[in-house]
């Protein structure tokens, strides 16, 4: 490519060879390959085959719909489909030019229902837009962080990785939380176990934290876990004037409080070694009871309700 561009600017082969630290014969061969064979690489294996527009469109559609582990597997697929031979470097260039990049796949619940999620988003928008004054709309969920060291991303010197002390401790803290996006308020309780009874106790704690709205409805969005839909939970919610709105199955992407758990991991768990259970328990509880209030105002953009619908994964 550099030979072609320099030649197009009127540079002589002697000048091109000097600029690129190659001999004149090699520069002439590259330019000849370009005009005679429509190549942009040398004959030593850097060239690529050609796909017409219809073949390119078909290949793009196939690659977008299925998981392909390497450029080499794409080379084999193209050879089988179209009888066109690519070099590995040529296929890598083709993939980049056609907006493909090599990255880790995104997990998605296999049983998620995109249509049910879209319908729930419409329900949520209507509820939010028509929420009576004095009422509150919250998202509820439980988290169970463990003491085991959680490795996370971080900046390291190129070519090196930071070494983090680890432990396989199984101690965990149960956190029941209710999050109000409008105010970034997060109400948490830390039960020994999470069940209908402790969820009811959380409702009582939540209602007490909204004293000015005690005669108004609290709207809570939560999943369909067994303790979330039990008769005991429904009865306690009714007693406390709490309206429950259940998410479609397999839809953690629609529960904003999930992002609070992610922030918690980033702030106090990722790459952190806890020497004992007491330190770990104190750290988790301190984050929600003290640090969240200081952090929350800087996190509003991360909690925008721009929900993404989970698409059906390819099988």
Determine phi and psi for 236, rounding to 5 degrees: -65, -35
Is 66 a residue whose pLDDT tops 90?
A: no
Flag whether 310 is in a domain.
no
What's the rounded mean pLDDT across residues 44-51? 56
Domain CATH code at residue 161:
3.30.420.10
Q: Is the pLDDT of residue 27 over 50?
A: yes
Domain limits at 82?
48-105
Residues 232 and 197 in one domain: yes
DSSP assignment string, 91-135: HHHHHHHTT----PPPP--TT--HHHHHHHHHHHHHHHHTPPTT-
Residues 3 and 139 in one domain: no
Tell me if 273 sits within 8 A of 148, measured CB to CB.
no
Residues 224 and 286 in one domain: yes
CA angle, 72 then 76 then 77, to 5°: 115
Model confidence at 43, pLDDT cuts 50, 70, 90, reads: very low
Q: Treating both helix axes as pointing N-terminal to C-terminal, what angle do 71-82 and 88-97 enclose, rounded to 10 degrees?
A: 90
Asked if residue 34 and residue 55 are part of one domain, the reply reads no
Instruction: Report pLDDT digits (tens) over 179-188.
Output: 999 999 999 9
Residues 268 and 176 placed together within one structural domain of the fold: yes
Q: Are residues 190 and 244 in the same domain?
A: yes
Question: Model confidence at 41, in pLDDT bands (50, 70, 90)?
Answer: very low
In a domain, 5, yes or no: yes
Q: What sign has the CA pseudo-torsion 233, 230, 190, 303?
A: negative
In a shared domain, residues 129 and 202:
yes
Tell me: do 39 and 76 sit in the same domain. Answer: no
Domain tally, the chain: 3
Structure tokens at 263: 């922030």
Among the listed residues 245, 236, 243, the one whose alpha carbon sits nearest the alpha carbon of residue 200? 236
Angle between the N-to-C axes of helices 231-239 and 196-208, in degrees from 0 to 180, rounded to the nearest 10: 20
pLDDT digits over 102-127, tens only? 766 665 566 778 999 999 999 999 99
Please check whether residues 39 and 64 belong to one and the same domain: no
Asked if residue 187 is part of any domain, the answer here is yes
Is 308 among the domain residues? no
- Do 285 and 141 sit in the same domain of this protein? yes
pLDDT digits (tens, 9 = 90+) for 247-299: 999 999 999 999 999 999 999 998 899 999 999 999 999 999 999 999 998 99
Q: Quick one: 32 and 4 in the same domain?
A: yes
């Amino acid at each position: 490519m550099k030979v072609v561009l320099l030649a197009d600017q009127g540079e002589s082969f002697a000048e091109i060879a000097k600029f690129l630290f190659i001999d004149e014969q090699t520069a002439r061969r590259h330019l000849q390959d370009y005009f005679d064979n429509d190549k942009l690489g040398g004959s030593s294996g850097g060239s690529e085959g050609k796909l017409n527009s219809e073949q390119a469109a078909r290949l793009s559609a196939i690659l977008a719909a299925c998981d392909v582990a390497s450029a080499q597997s794409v080379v084999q697929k193209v050879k089988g489909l179209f009888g066109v031979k690519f070099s590995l470097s040529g296929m890598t260039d083709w993939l980049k030019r056609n907006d493909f990049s090599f990255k880790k796949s995104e997990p998605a619940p296999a049983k998620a229902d995109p249509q049910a999620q879209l319908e729930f988003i419409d329900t949520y928008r209507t509820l939010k837009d028509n929420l009576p004054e004095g009422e509150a709309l919250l998202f509820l969920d439980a988290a169970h962080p463990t003491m085991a060291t959680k490795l996370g991303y971080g900046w390291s010197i190129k070519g090196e990785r930071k070494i983090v002390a680890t432990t396989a401790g199984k101690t965990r803290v149960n956190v029941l939380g209710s999050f109000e996006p409008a105010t970034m308020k997060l109400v948490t309780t830390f039960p020994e176990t999470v069940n209908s009874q402790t969820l009811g106790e959380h409702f009582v704690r939540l209602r007490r934290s909204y004293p000015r709205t005690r005669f108004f409805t609290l709207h809570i969005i939560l999943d369909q876990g067994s303790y979330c839909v039990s008769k005991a939970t429904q009865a306690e919610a009714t007693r406390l004037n709490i309206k429950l709105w259940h998410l479609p199955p397999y839809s953690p992407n629609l529960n904003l409080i999930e992002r609070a758990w992610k922030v918690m991991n980033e702030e106090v768990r990722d790459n952190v070694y806890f020497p004992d259970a007491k330190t770990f328990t104190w750290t988790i509880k301190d984050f929600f009871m003290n640090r969240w209030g200081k952090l929350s105002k800087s996190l509003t953009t991360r909690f925008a309700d721009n929900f993404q619908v989970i698409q059906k994964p390819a099988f």
